[in-house]
Amino acid sequence: MTSASVGSLAGLRVVELGQLLAGPFCGQLLGDMGADVIKVEPPGKGDPMRDWGQGDEKVQWEVIARNKRSVTCNLRVPEGQALAKQLILTADVLVENFKPGTLEKWRLGPDVLLAEKPSLIIARMSGYGQDGPYSDRAGFGGIGEAMGGWRYVVGEPDRPPARMGISIGDTLCATYGTMGILAALHHRERTGEGQVIDTALYEAVLQVMEGLVPEYDYNGFIRERSGSILPGIAPSNVYTCKDGPFMIGANKDEIFARLAEAMGQPELASDPRYSTHLARGQHQTELDDLVNAWTSTLTIDEVDAAMIRHSIPAGRVYTAKDMLDDPHFQAREAIVEVETQTRGPIKMQNAFPKFSKTPSGIRRPAPAVPGQDNAVVYGDLLGLDPNGLDALKAQGVI
């Protein structure tokens, strides 16, 4: 744990409302960069992310809640709303991912908060955005992936749309939300003004869909599912070796010539069927078959060595175990070991990206229980004494 690192956002206070993925992942990114993130959880079980993840023991919480302090607050009662408002008004940034209208119902909407603190930045994440005919609909990341165009193009062409094994819609929305916060901080630095950032799950997905929309608008072309390939980009695929899969990307002319040399078939580079980018795209299937016929006679280590020797972009298809064993991951500290509060040391992805002057890092492990920091946060920031905290607890407010 890199406790000595303070990060680029040191001194920035963030209050994180909301649960599950989009809002909390935004909070994780900000916390990794040094912000003091105060996560507000409902009293009792806390954020459902505490019970999420794969395997017998659910440890995903240890990643998404790192670098955060936890307080509890019942936002559904007036006393909790008043307490949350006091806390938010001490912050620079509010992150929330409730259904649109929820904050307004709790008297915590931007109109109320910005009237009292015009410099506050409010990042709102939802399924469909804060306005428009669908804004009051419930939305999860998977729905955003479907409506944003992602799900339709993922999978094999003869099967229904598939999904990635991660919640990419939520994390994309959170990443764009973080980007918006950083831009809003720059604006505030110049003007003193806060503002509202409105990010929708489906629009976050739409942003990474490359030429999907103009290709249809201009050409009438609709992208379809294409399995492991990108149509017209060849050779670029996962190929079969004696002992498993291996990824090769050799679709540029000069790189393909080097691949042909590595395969012992240099004549392929001058063959009219494969000599240009367009030609290789037109003969993609047969070219993939040629490459696969070569890789299937070799081990992953042998193909990898050939790719390095001929300077061809390529890589092993990693599991988590492979990542932990890889010397490059180790040298760059892409994965670090964090001493958690209840589970001992756990390895996880490090803070990212890397900064040369103000490195990000993992300064504190995820809070072990909801409200772990009630006394410190409510005491230091809001001036509540132990008797006041006991009274709020007895009322079910915290």
Catalytic residue among 36, 47, 92, 170: 170
Query: Looking up tokens 């509540």, which residue turns up?
Result: 384
Query: Looking up tokens 């939802």, which residue turns up?
Result: 126
Residues 315, 311: Cα–Cα separation, whole Å: 12
In a domain, 134, yes or no: yes
Boundary-marking domain end, from 270, 297, 319? 319
Identify whether the C-beta of residue 174 lies closer than 8 Å to the C-beta of residue 22.
yes
| Shared-domain flag, residues 172 and 247 | no
| Shared-domain flag, residues 175 and 30 | yes
Here the tokens at position 281 are: 């795209």
In a domain, 221, yes or no: no
Query: Looking up tokens 């580079």, which residue turns up?
Result: 269
Q: What is the pLDDT of residue 5?
A: 59
| Shared-domain flag, residues 172 and 29 | yes
| 170 in catalytic set | yes
User: Buried b / exposed e across 243-272, counting CB within 10 Å, b at 16+?
Assistant: eeebbbbbbbeebbbbbbbbbeeeebbeee
Q: What is the pLDDT of residue 106?
A: 97
| Shared-domain flag, residues 156 and 294 | no
User: Using one digit for the tens of pLDDT, what is the confidence trace for 126-178?
Assistant: 999 999 999 999 888 999 999 999 999 999 999 999 998 999 999 999 999 99
- CA proximity to 65, closest of 337, 360, 345, 365: 365
| Shared-domain flag, residues 158 and 29 | yes
Provide the pLDDT confidence category of residue 3 given band limits of 50, 70 and 90: very low
Identify whether the C-beta of residue 185 lies closer than 8 Å to the C-beta of residue 178.
no
Compute the average pLDDT of residues 330-353: 96
- Length reported for the chain: 398
| Shared-domain flag, residues 109 and 174 | yes
| Shared-domain flag, residues 203 and 91 | yes
Residues 248, 236: Cα–Cα separation, whole Å: 6
In a domain, 190, yes or no: yes
Compute the average pLDDT of residues 290-317: 98
| Shared-domain flag, residues 314 and 347 | no
Hey, is 138 helix, strand or coil?
A: coil
Cα angle 171-6-334, degrees, rounded to a multiple of 5? 50
Compute the average pLDDT of residues 201-230: 96
Boundary-marking domain end, from 273, 298, 319? 319
Compute the average pLDDT of residues 53-81: 95
Compute the average pLDDT of residues 266-294: 97
In a domain, 186, yes or no: yes
Provide the pLDDT confidence category of residue 2 given band limits of 50, 70 and 90: very low
Q: Kindly report the pTM of this predicted structure.
A: 0.94
| Shared-domain flag, residues 387 and 244 | no
Boundary-marking domain end, from 269, 288, 319? 319
Here the tokens at position 388 are: 């006041």
Residues 36, 48: Cα–Cα separation, whole Å: 22
CATH number at residue 308: 3.30.1540.10
**Structural domains of the chain, count:** 2
| Shared-domain flag, residues 253 and 362 | no
CATH number at residue 75: 3.40.50.10540
| Shared-domain flag, residues 176 and 288 | no
In a domain, 218, yes or no: no
CA distances from 133 to 51, 83, 202 (A): 33, 33, 14
In a domain, 230, yes or no: no
How buried is 185 (Cβ within 10 angstroms: 0-12 exposed, 13-18 middle, 19+ buried)? middle
Compute the average pLDDT of residues 184-205: 98
* pLDDT tops 90 at residue 313: yes
- Domain of residue 281 covers 236-319
| Shared-domain flag, residues 170 and 35 | yes
In a domain, 222, yes or no: no
In a domain, 224, yes or no: no
Identify whether the C-beta of residue 21 lies closer than 8 Å to the C-beta of residue 141.
yes
